[in-house]
Chains A and B, each alone.
Chain A
Amino acid sequence: MNEENGHKSVLVIGGGIAGIQASLDLANMGFKVYLVEKSPSIGGRMAQLDKTFPTNDCAMCILAPKMIEASSHSNIALYTYSEVEDVSGEVGDFKVKIKRNSPFVDWNKCTGCGECTQTELDGSRKFEEEIWVDRIKIDEESCIQCGECTQACVEENKERHGITNIAFERRKFIELPPEEREGREPETLVQRVTLMDEESRMDFWQRELKKCMKCFGCRDVCPVWVYDETELEDPEWITPGEIPPPVPLFHIIRAYRIADSCINCGMCEETCPMDIPLRTIHQLIWRQPPEMIFEYIPGLDPATKEKLIQRVKEHPIAKGEIRK
């Protein structure tokens, strides 16, 4: 504990659940906390568990909110992918040397989409299998600087590609002028949707969301859905008994509710019996304004507001054409 500069500070080594909880408690008591973690992300073993003793709760449901809180807490300075090199001094006056490993990834820009790990080398091996790229870090010893992961990153994350430190940078696929894109198909769904014009994007989502059979699975498995369940069951908005839900408000409300806390675990998409690309919604939300993904931004200018109200009035529920 260090009170040297007029405020107390604490070093926590290890960002597993114990380290996270200790950091949060201390931070809430007013201490400045330095949390050091060797791997690129805090979370530790618990993030790899399914259920936990003794309450049988899902591990991520307990952990994820704490991880988010730790990463955004104003009293916690997070040093991930870092190691403590040296400790000197005495009780009340420690000096600690922390080595930060270079991830070769700009974490402020990385969206955690994981596309970099999915790219294929020679069209056969996946990076993931070779363990060169593990989401948000690159192993500097194994890297052969082919640049494939960078390209995946720029294609996937138009404005804010995370992998910046590699010398080899290719042009961004979705920014190419149309004539240069000709003959090349977008490789990922996110790219494909981004390249659609507004109308076909609407069609795409209408079509995908029409598959919904309202199993509520995406909500039930979501580790960061901490809200009241009934929020997605309001009969005024989500007609009971209708398949598919006539307006996909269910999905829009869900997407917005978890937009800033989604950890991209992909459980929603995995558990959807109709294979709706739910994860893509979140990947898009991270880097696009809402009106590009759906139709409009609610409550901006009077014209939009008017449009919204009009839409609600015309909606079959308001007109009583749909069974309640």
Chain B
Amino acid sequence: MNCDFVLTVCPFCGCGCQLYLQVLDGKITGVVPCKTDEISGGQLCIKGRKAADFIYHPDRLRSPLVKRNGRFEPTSWDEALDIVSGRLSEIKRLHGPDSISILSSAKCTNEENFLMMKFARAAVGTNNVDHCARLCHASTVLGLVNSFGSGAMTNSVPEVEGADCIFVIGSNTIEQHPLISSRVLRAKERGAKLIVADPRRIPLTEFADIHLQLRPGTDVCLLNGMMNLILSRNLADKDFIAERTEGFEEFKKKVEEYPPEKVCQITKVDPTALEEAARTYGEAEKASILYAMGITQHTTGTDNVESCANLAMLTGNVGRESTGVNPLRGQNNVQGACDVGALPTVYSGYQSVRDEAIRAKFEKAWGVKLPQEPGLTVTEMTDAALNGSLKAMYIMGENPALSDPDLSHVKKALSSLDFLVVQDIFLSEAAQFAHVVLPACSFAEKEGTFTATDRRVQRVRKAIGPIGDSKPDWVIISELARKIRDAQFDYKSPREVMEEIAELTPSYAGISYKRLDNGEVLAWPCPSKEHPGTKFLHKETFTRGKGRFFAIDYKEPAELPDEEYPFILTTGRLMFQFHTGTMTRRIPALEREAPTGFVELNPEDAKKLSIAQGEKVKVKSRRGEIGIKAFITDRISPGVAFIPFHFAECAANELTSRNLDPEAKIPEFKVCAVKVYKGDKHG
């Protein structure tokens, strides 16, 4: 009998809680919290505590599948890889490398994402590689790079505890980042002020000093209004602005166009609350902004992010402990997947593909000519598939058939592809469309690293061998790459991949398995072997030199309610499910808590439509229609409806729109126009 505890990282949200997997005779028996971990400190949310419960699920893919005559048939690895490499090579020969696109995965390790990005660029020869960061924090990566020069959380998670004022905007922190919210509440206990801006009365508002219940999509206007008040009340940090920033005068003129009266009229926020919020944030010694999807998933996502950055710079709340602009990343390794370059415009460490010198460095390392034009984003891939310029797609650990906006459009695109490979641990909605399905390993069956939301790189350790015939993603990618193009994909372990990442990526240069296994906490940038990692960014100067103010005008969301579609639909997540539910919907304890979706309606609206509690209703937008249970609650404002997007049987994304942020290409998940009517009527 052999008993072991394997320290690894939780596979759900971006908090990055370490936990122990309890292994008895090569079988995982449970999860034990890790008391010495800085983030979790022996505490976990329900998802973390049940993290091991999906690993042995009977639905796990146990052998490669090939679709023949519309049905999946199990096959051998040799045959499956031959089909994939043969078809991809053929499509590449006939239509060029840019007719192939690749979706990498925020659920996989840094090493696997790096290999996937290398596979796309060096083996296939295209920059068409992207992942779901496009759907969550693309606007953060872009917006914060524009403002500060570095598109990541400026401060670390434990620092939240020390702030004097915490401004949470567009983040349902208790439900989505439980171990960060516990720090918010600890700060509150210490006497910090908490401001929550959210269209819904989320659990965190119970503890907030001020709740700004704004109309969805009016964030820029709200932030401009707050900054207007901060300026007129003389609460701006003049020294900081003069010394460390640029573009202030233009910005100031713009903000002056947003007096409180106008702002309150647009945002529907109470004027005294707005005044109070501006004063509280402006006066605080150390103020921290936490934001998430409520800011980014808009056609004005980049504007929203830059406005948050403006607010922090205006009050000098950047580059010090317990301050900053802190995007909370939704997935365990979405930060890492961006860092190692699973994006169409950059290599690892956000090094641009257009830059000659950088491209030359990668060409030398990989011994191959690399493409220089930026590739397609997730959202552009579906369009390209439909217009025929994209022929094949290789999806690793993503489920666009539930996560992307306007699902009927996505499904049409997926089924119009000549060749689709899906590599996943379960037969997801997207995998149904695949020609070949490759079974991958879950987080418990492989080695690697995840990068948490606060840039903290942590080790993922193998607890058990692969389930069935599945293989770790890095093995599959390298085997496939070796079939397509022999050399340069000869890795014995993820450790070697990490060495390559460190060699090619300045911000990861000092990170190694040896240091991580010694228990060092390393947050990038970590430019050398001696560097202790960076707790908070922009200490002396901004990454880009000076912080840049942007003068930003408020723009309406792309699709506003009208007579036909009178409700604003906003989507989001629940505590007990995670994203498309591939994993969490197979965990009984979580499925028991939240077995299906619902549409939140205000009692006023429900009364008008004579909809009863729990009644099955129809929700329809210009793109689709779903049947769903009504949940009547006053935590949502009149005229707004909320649907969680986890559930395939009532998928919120059938309704959402494909309107994109022009720069970041992030779709507007948070605002679209819908109508709600009783289930027995016809719309």
Interface string of B576-607 (1 = CB under 8 A from A): 10000000000001001111001000000000
Contact assessment for B203 and A244 in the assembled complex, using a CB-CB cutoff below 8 Å? yes
Contact assessment for B593 and A213 in the assembled complex, using a CB-CB cutoff below 8 Å? no
* A216: nearest chain-B partner, CB-CB: B46
Size bin of chain A's contact surface: 20 to 34
Q: Given contacts A243-B174, A321-B613, is CB(A215)–CB(B632) below 8 Å?
A: no
Contact assessment for A213 and B174 in the assembled complex, using a CB-CB cutoff below 8 Å? yes
Contact assessment for B44 and A217 in the assembled complex, using a CB-CB cutoff below 8 Å? yes
A243 to B574, CA, bound (A): 9
Contact assessment for B179 and A273 in the assembled complex, using a CB-CB cutoff below 8 Å? yes
Which B residues are in CB contact (< 8 Å) with A54? 1, 3
Contact assessment for B631 and A323 in the assembled complex, using a CB-CB cutoff below 8 Å? yes
9 A-B pairs with least C-beta separation: A273-B43, A215-B46, A241-B594, A240-B593, A323-B631, A273-B182, A54-B1, A241-B593, A215-B45
Contact assessment for A271 and B598 in the assembled complex, using a CB-CB cutoff below 8 Å? no
**Interface flag for B206 (CB, 8 Å):** yes
Partner of A273 from the list B178, B592, B595 (CB cut-off 8 Å) is B178
CB<8 Å pairs between A and B, sample of 22: A54-B1, A54-B3, A56-B29, A213-B46, A213-B175, A215-B43, A215-B44, A215-B46, A215-B48, A240-B595, A241-B593, A243-B203, A244-B203, A244-B206, A270-B43, A271-B33, A272-B43, A273-B45, A274-B182, A320-B613, A320-B614, A321-B632
Contact assessment for B613 and A220 in the assembled complex, using a CB-CB cutoff below 8 Å? no
**Interface flag for B133 (CB, 8 Å):** no
Which A residues are in CB contact (< 8 Å) with B206? 210, 244
Distance in angstroms from B29 CB to nearest chain A CB is 7
Partner of B49 from the list A220, A233, A240, A243 (CB cut-off 8 Å) is A220
Which A residues are in CB contact (< 8 Å) with B49? 215-217, 220
* B189: nearest chain-A partner, CB-CB: A275
**Interface flag for A135 (CB, 8 Å):** no
Partner of A241 from the list B43, B44, B574, B613 (CB cut-off 8 Å) is B574
Which B residues are in CB contact (< 8 Å) with A275? 182, 185-186, 189
Which B residues are in CB contact (< 8 Å) with A324? 614
A272 to B43, CA, bound (A): 6
Which A residues are in CB contact (< 8 Å) with B632? 321
Contact assessment for A274 and B3 in the assembled complex, using a CB-CB cutoff below 8 Å? no
Which A residues are in CB contact (< 8 Å) with B42? 270-271
**Interface flag for A211 (CB, 8 Å):** yes
* B35: nearest chain-A partner, CB-CB: A270
How many chain B residues touch A (CB < 8 A): the figure is 41
Classify the interface of chain B: helix, strand, loop or mixed: mixed
**Interface flag for A311 (CB, 8 Å):** no
Partner of A240 from the list B3, B179, B592 (CB cut-off 8 Å) is B592
Contact assessment for A215 and B182 in the assembled complex, using a CB-CB cutoff below 8 Å? no
Distance in angstroms from B205 CB to nearest chain A CB is 11
A54 to B29, CA, bound (A): 13
Which A residues are in CB contact (< 8 Å) with B416? none
Q: A54-B1, A241-B574 are in contact. List 13 more A-B contacts (CB 8 A).
A: A56-B22, A56-B24, A211-B207, A213-B174, A213-B178, A215-B178, A220-B49, A233-B592, A241-B593, A243-B174, A273-B40, A321-B613, A321-B632
A285 to B442, CA, bound (A): 44
Distance in angstroms from A222 CB to nearest chain B CB is 13
**Interface flag for B575 (CB, 8 Å):** yes
Interface string of B29-71 (1 = CB under 8 A from A): 1000101000010111110110000000000000000000000
Which B residues are in CB contact (< 8 Å) with A172? none
Distance in angstroms from B60 CB to nearest chain A CB is 23
**Interface flag for A214 (CB, 8 Å):** yes
Which A residues are in CB contact (< 8 Å) with B44? 215, 217, 271, 273
* A240: nearest chain-B partner, CB-CB: B593
* B202: nearest chain-A partner, CB-CB: A243
Partner of B45 from the list A213, A240, A244, A270 (CB cut-off 8 Å) is A213
Distance in angstroms from A80 CB to nearest chain B CB is 29
Distance in angstroms from B599 CB to nearest chain A CB is 11
* A215: nearest chain-B partner, CB-CB: B46
**Interface flag for A305 (CB, 8 Å):** no
Which A residues are in CB contact (< 8 Å) with B576? 241
Cβ < 8 Å to B, chain A residues 223-263: 233, 240-241, 243-244
Cβ < 8 Å to A, chain B residues 174-205: 174-175, 178-179, 181-182, 185-186, 189, 203
Contact assessment for B594 and A217 in the assembled complex, using a CB-CB cutoff below 8 Å? no
* B600: nearest chain-A partner, CB-CB: A323
A324 to B592, CA, bound (A): 10
* B206: nearest chain-A partner, CB-CB: A210
Q: Given contacts A56-B3, A240-B593, is CB(A213)–CB(B22) below 8 Å?
A: no
A213 to B35, CA, bound (A): 19
Which B residues are in CB contact (< 8 Å) with A217? 33, 43-44, 49
**Interface flag for A95 (CB, 8 Å):** no
Contact assessment for B631 and A274 in the assembled complex, using a CB-CB cutoff below 8 Å? no
* A239: nearest chain-B partner, CB-CB: B593
Partner of B598 from the list A53, A270, A323 (CB cut-off 8 Å) is A323
Distance in angstroms from A52 CB to nearest chain B CB is 10
Distance in angstroms from B584 CB to nearest chain A CB is 13
A213 to B186, CA, bound (A): 15
**Interface flag for A51 (CB, 8 Å):** yes
Which A residues are in CB contact (< 8 Å) with B24? 56
Which A residues are in CB contact (< 8 Å) with B35? 270
A320 to B614, CA, bound (A): 8
Distance in angstroms from B186 CB to nearest chain A CB is 6
A215 to B45, CA, bound (A): 5
A53 to B4, CA, bound (A): 11
A56 to B178, CA, bound (A): 29
Which A residues are in CB contact (< 8 Å) with B22? 56
A271 to B31, CA, bound (A): 13
Distance in angstroms from A83 CB to nearest chain B CB is 35
A321 to B615, CA, bound (A): 11
Interface hub of B42, B175, B595 (most chain A Cβ within 10 A): B42
A216 to B589, CA, bound (A): 10
Which A residues are in CB contact (< 8 Å) with B595? 240
Which A residues are in CB contact (< 8 Å) with B207? 210-211
A321 to B175, CA, bound (A): 21
Interface string of B87-105 (1 = CB under 8 A from A): 0000000000000000000
Contact assessment for A271 and B174 in the assembled complex, using a CB-CB cutoff below 8 Å? no
A217 to B593, CA, bound (A): 15
Which A residues are in CB contact (< 8 Å) with B179? 273
Cβ < 8 Å to B, chain A residues 29-73: 51, 53-54, 56
Which A residues are in CB contact (< 8 Å) with B48? 215
Which B residues are in CB contact (< 8 Å) with A240? 592-595
A213 to B48, CA, bound (A): 13
Which B residues are in CB contact (< 8 Å) with A210? 206-207
A303 to B563, CA, bound (A): 54
Contact assessment for B29 and A243 in the assembled complex, using a CB-CB cutoff below 8 Å? no
A233 to B46, CA, bound (A): 13
Distance in angstroms from A173 CB to nearest chain B CB is 23
Contact assessment for A323 and B45 in the assembled complex, using a CB-CB cutoff below 8 Å? no
Distance in angstroms from B131 CB to nearest chain A CB is 28
Which A residues are in CB contact (< 8 Å) with B185? 211, 274-275
* A233: nearest chain-B partner, CB-CB: B592
A215 to B595, CA, bound (A): 17
Q: Given contacts A56-B29, A273-B178, A274-B182, is CB(A214)–CB(B46) below 8 Å?
A: yes
A275 to B598, CA, bound (A): 30
Which B residues are in CB contact (< 8 Å) with A51? 3
* B186: nearest chain-A partner, CB-CB: A275
Interface hub of B48, B592, B593 (most chain A Cβ within 10 A): B593
Which A residues are in CB contact (< 8 Å) with B175? 213, 243
* B577: nearest chain-A partner, CB-CB: A241
Which B residues are in CB contact (< 8 Å) with A56? 3, 22, 24, 29
Interface hub of B40, B46, B629 (most chain A Cβ within 10 A): B46
